[in-house]
Amino acid sequence: MALLISLARHFSLKRLLLRTLGAILSAQAITLIILQVISRQRKRYLPQGGFPHTRFAEITIGQDHLQLYDYGRDLYDDMLAAIDSAQETIYLESYIWKDDSVGRAFKEHLIRKAEEGVAVYVIFDWFANLVVPRKFKIFPPTIHVLQYQALRYPWHLFDPRRYALDHRKLLVVDGTIGFIGGYNIGETYATSWRDTHLRIRGPAAADLAQSFVDFWNQHVPAHERITRRHPRCFNPLINVRGTSAMRLMFPIRDMYIEAIDRAQKFIYLTNAYFVPDSILLDALKAAARRGVDVEILVPWMSNHIIADWLCRSHFSECLKAGIRVFGYRHMLHAKTCTIDGEWSTIGTANLDRLSSIGNYEINVEIYNGDLARQMEVLFKYDKTNAFELRLEDWEQRPWYVRLSEWLLAPLRFLT
């Protein structure tokens, strides 16, 4: 009899757990559906254009010259000029490439240079460009094209490394001029999104070129590989950090943690989708507790409403640790950080799981006071278009908001 009672209790408990799990999953699904409906509605009211931006002077680090960009139109003009100046090679890699006036301009300039005999190589992510018309993604045979597709064969479903998207954004001309940052290619990004990009003129651009070549050669047949190599050198002041799912290399996250652990004065961090793992978040909190001025700037309403809610689920923890949080009033897509007037990074990696240990990403890490000062100016300039979130105000948010954050928190590992 005792055994029967024990079994009955066991199955009763199991049934209760299953029902509880089912209720939570159902609540998560309902929350996601509601947020997607809200997302479609709010797109009509998102601010378009009109955000503050500035122009920076080019700075020199040894033999390299660095130009910082915070406005897409300025960046695109210089990228097209660089393409037009090409004599030997053009490497262009973009996560998203829109079929609009900006996208078509890039395509036309590339075709023209290919017809002149310049070796033109193009990479774009297949999944990210599903909504782009197929006709636009067709190039003449004079241009070498890699439409990167993460899952090419059924058995790739069983290899987690194969789920990585190509989230990188690069343009390298003749191995001597390189562009890297958060900007995709399209009209919206030219004037309506605040993002950050960097141009490197000089020997350090060869590292960007080789990164493109390595990615290309890894994903094409042997007879299509690029054999050209650009002379490279060791530069302790400018380092390129790239993640590779296939090689299980994820140095960008480690770069952030190491720099944060060294901070003594301030950390100014800007990120479009701030959903850090516990170790990176603990590093930021520890910095704030030892007296470092830690300031985080995120878009208050981004183009991904789920990412917004996952980001906000960290705010109480951040604010209680002494981290200052600022909400940008326009779409902010930048992925940058500057620390103590000495160290800076600009690139494509968000602070979420997809960028940290998932997608192909690339950042440049720079040790230079002049660039760091420009990054500080840019951060403070961005704050003029942002509001600071106060703990006492945030703690007063409605109960249903707290509940939604709790329900969605388990989804952090998917972002």
State the Cα–Cα distance between residues 159 and 162, nearest whole angstrom: 6
Place of tokens 């079994």: 7
Per-residue confidence (pLDDT) for residue 161, from 0 to 100: 78
Question: Over the stretch 313-355, which tens digit does the pLDDT of each residue have?
Answer: 889 999 999 999 999 999 999 999 999 999 999 999 999 887 8
Nearest-angstrom CA–CA distance, 263 and 287: 7
What kind and span of H or E run contains 121?
strand 119-125
Q: What percent of the chain has pLDDT over 70?
A: 84
Q: Which residue has the tokens 């159902």?
A: 26
Do β-strands 238-242 and 362-367 pair in parallel, antiparallel, or remain unpaired? Answer: antiparallel
Give dist(CA 86, CA 48) in Å, integer.
Answer: 34
DSSP annotation of 329 reads S
Residues facing residue 363 across a β-bridge: 241, 347
- Sequence-distant (6+) residues with CB within 8 A of 69 are 56, 75, 78, 181, 183, 196, 197, 198, 199
267 contacts: CB under 8 Å, gap ≥ 6: 260, 284, 287, 292, 293, 294, 295, 337, 339
pLDDT exceeds 70 at position 109: yes
SS3 of 384, please? Answer: coil
Q: Scanning the structure block, which residue is given the tokens 């809610």?
A: 309
Q: How far apart are CA 158 and CA 410, in angstroms?
A: 23
Phi then psi for 327, rounded to 5 degrees? -105, 120
CA 344, CA 334: separation in Å to the nearest integer? 13
Q: Report, as an integer, the average pLDDT of 191-217.
A: 97
Q: Average the pLDDT over 82-101 and give the result.
A: 98
- Domain borders along the chain are 59-236, 251-414
CATH topology of domain 251-414: Endonuclease; Chain A (3.30.870)
Residues 256-281 have a mean pLDDT of 96
Q: List pLDDT tens digits, range 41-76.
A: 555 556 666 788 999 999 999 999 999 999 999 999
If you average pLDDT over residues 146-154, what whole number do you get? 87
Q: Which residues of 110-120 are buried (b: 16+ CB within 10 A; e: fewer)?
A: beebbeeebbb
The domains spanning 59-236 and 251-414 adopt the same CATH topology: yes
Say if CB 317 and CB 285 are below 8 A apart: yes
| φ/ψ bin of 134: left (φ > 0), alpha (ψ from -120 to 50), beta (otherwise) | alpha
Which of these CATH numbers, 3.40.50.720, 3.40.605.10, 3.60.21.10, 3.30.870.10, describes 59-236? 3.30.870.10
Strand partners, 339: 267, 343
Q: Which pLDDT does position 157 carry in this prediction?
A: 77
Nearest to 360 by CA among 218, 135, 92, 165: 165
How high is the mean pLDDT of the chain? 89
Task: Give, in order, the Cα–Cα distances in Å from 328 to each of 47, 99, 319.
Answer: 11, 28, 17
- Burial letters for 186-212: b for 16+ Cβ neighbours within 10 Å, e otherwise? bebbbebbbbbbbbbbbbbbbbbbbbb
The pLDDT tens digits of the residues spanning 290-317 come to 999 999 999 998 888 778 878 888 899 9
Rg, C-alpha atoms of the chain: 23
What are the residue ranges of helices labelled H in 263-301? Answer: 278-289
Residue with tokens 């998102």: 46
